A and B are shown apart, each in its own frame.
Chain A
Amino acid sequence: MDWGFILTQTTTQAIGITAIIYILAAIGLNVQFGYAGLLNFGQVMFVAAGSYAVGVIVLTFDLSLWLSILVAIIVATALALLLGIPTLRLRADYLAIVTIAASELFRLSVRSIAFKDTLGGAQGLNGKLGQQFHDTNPLPADFQSLPVLSWTRQDLWVVIVGWLLIAAFTVLVWLLVRSPWGRVIKGIREDEDAVVSLGKNVFVYKMQALILGGIIAAFGGIVWAVAKQSVQPDTFQPDFTFFAYTILLLGGAARVFGPIVGGIIFWFLLAGTGEFLGQAIQAGWIDFLQATDVGNIRFMLMGAGLIALMVFRPQGIFGDRKELALDAR
Chain B
Amino acid sequence: MPDNFDSRAEQAKAVLASVDPRPGVPKPDPILVADHVRRSFGGLTAVNVEHVEIQRGAITALIGPNGAGKTTFFNLITGFDDANEGKWTFNGRQVAGTAPYRLARIGMVRTFQLTKALSRMTVIDNMRLGAKNQTGERIFAAIFPFLWKSQEKQIDQRAIGLLERFNLHQKVADFAGSLSGGQRKLLEMARALMSDPELVMLDEPMAGVNPALKQSLLGHIKAIREEGTTVLFVEHDMDMVHDISDWVIVMAQGQVIAEGPPDTVMKNQAVIDAYLGAHHDSNLTESGEALTEDGAR
Partner of B100, one of A175, A182, A197, A329: A197
Chain A residues with Cβ under 8 A from B111's Cβ?
A: 197
Contact at A198–B191, with CB atoms within 8 Å?
Answer: yes
A20 and B195 CA atoms in complex are apart in Å by 43
Please provide the chain A residues from 181 to 223 with a CB less than 8 Å away from any CB of chain B in the complex.
Answer: 181-184, 186-187, 189-191, 193-202, 208, 212
Segment of B87-95, B122-130, B251-259 in the binding face: B122-130
Chain B residues with Cβ under 8 A from A284's Cβ?
A: none
Chain B residues with Cβ under 8 A from A291's Cβ?
A: none
A193 and B203 CA atoms in complex are apart in Å by 14
Measured between C-beta atoms, what is the minimum distance from A232 to chain B in Å? 34
Chain A residues with Cβ under 8 A from B177's Cβ?
A: 326-327, 329
Is A292 part of the contact surface with B, judged by Cβ < 8 Å? no
Chain A's closest residue to B78 (CB) is A197
Is B80 part of the contact surface with A, judged by Cβ < 8 Å? yes
Chain A's closest residue to B197 (CB) is A199
Given A191-B116, A326-B175, A327-B120, residue A180 in contact with residue B152 (CB < 8 A): yes
As a 0/1 sequence over residues 148 to 165 of chain B, the CB contacts with chain A under 8 angstroms (1 = contact) are 100010000000000000
Contact at A198–B129, with CB atoms within 8 Å?
Answer: yes
Chain A residues with Cβ under 8 A from B240's Cβ?
A: none
Measured between C-beta atoms, what is the minimum distance from A301 to chain B in Å? 32
Measured between C-beta atoms, what is the minimum distance from A250 to chain B in Å? 20
Chain A residues with Cβ under 8 A from B72's Cβ?
A: none
Is B22 part of the contact surface with A, judged by Cβ < 8 Å? no
Contact at A191–B118, with CB atoms within 8 Å?
Answer: yes
Chain B residues with Cβ under 8 A from A136's Cβ?
A: none
Given A197-B109, A198-B130, residue A329 in contact with residue B119 (CB < 8 A): yes
Contact at B178–A326, with CB atoms within 8 Å?
Answer: yes
Given A196-B104, A197-B110, A326-B175, residue A187 in contact with residue B121 (CB < 8 A): yes
Please provide the chain B residues from 51 to 104 with a CB less than 8 Å away from any CB of chain A in the complex.
Answer: 78, 80, 99-102, 104
Chain B residues with Cβ under 8 A from A195's Cβ?
A: 118, 129
Please provide the chain B residues from 129 to 154 with a CB less than 8 Å away from any CB of chain A in the complex.
Answer: 129-130, 132, 134-139, 141-143, 145, 148, 152
Contact at B175–A323, with CB atoms within 8 Å?
Answer: yes
Measured between C-beta atoms, what is the minimum distance from B46 to chain A in Å? 19
Measured between C-beta atoms, what is the minimum distance from A84 to chain B in Å? 15
Residue among B121, B125, B195 with most chain A CB within 10 A: B121
Contact at A200–B137, with CB atoms within 8 Å?
Answer: yes
Contact at B128–A198, with CB atoms within 8 Å?
Answer: no
Measured between C-beta atoms, what is the minimum distance from B40 to chain A in Å? 22
Contact at A208–B101, with CB atoms within 8 Å?
Answer: no
Contact at A199–B105, with CB atoms within 8 Å?
Answer: yes
Chain A residues with Cβ under 8 A from B145's Cβ?
A: 175, 179
Contact at A176–B142, with CB atoms within 8 Å?
Answer: yes
As a 0/1 sequence over residues 67 to 90 of chain A, the CB contacts with chain B under 8 angstroms (1 = contact) are 000000000000000000000000
Residue among B121, B139, B148, B191 with most chain A CB within 10 A: B139
- Measured CB to CB, the residues of B under 8 A from A are 78, 80, 99-102, 104-105, 109-112, 116-121, 125, 128-130, 132, 134-139, 141-143, 145, 148, 152, 175, 177-178, 188, 191-192, 194-195
Sample of 13 further A-B pairs with CB below 8 A, known A179-B142, A193-B80, A196-B101: A179-B136, A180-B135, A180-B136, A186-B121, A194-B112, A197-B80, A198-B109, A198-B191, A198-B194, A199-B102, A199-B104, A327-B177, A329-B177
Q: Return 27 A-B CB contacts under 8 Å, by A number.
A: A175-B145, A179-B136, A180-B142, A181-B136, A183-B128, A183-B129, A183-B137, A187-B118, A187-B121, A190-B119, A194-B188, A196-B101, A197-B104, A197-B112, A197-B192, A198-B101, A198-B129, A198-B195, A199-B102, A199-B105, A200-B137, A201-B99, A212-B139, A322-B175, A326-B119, A327-B119, A327-B120
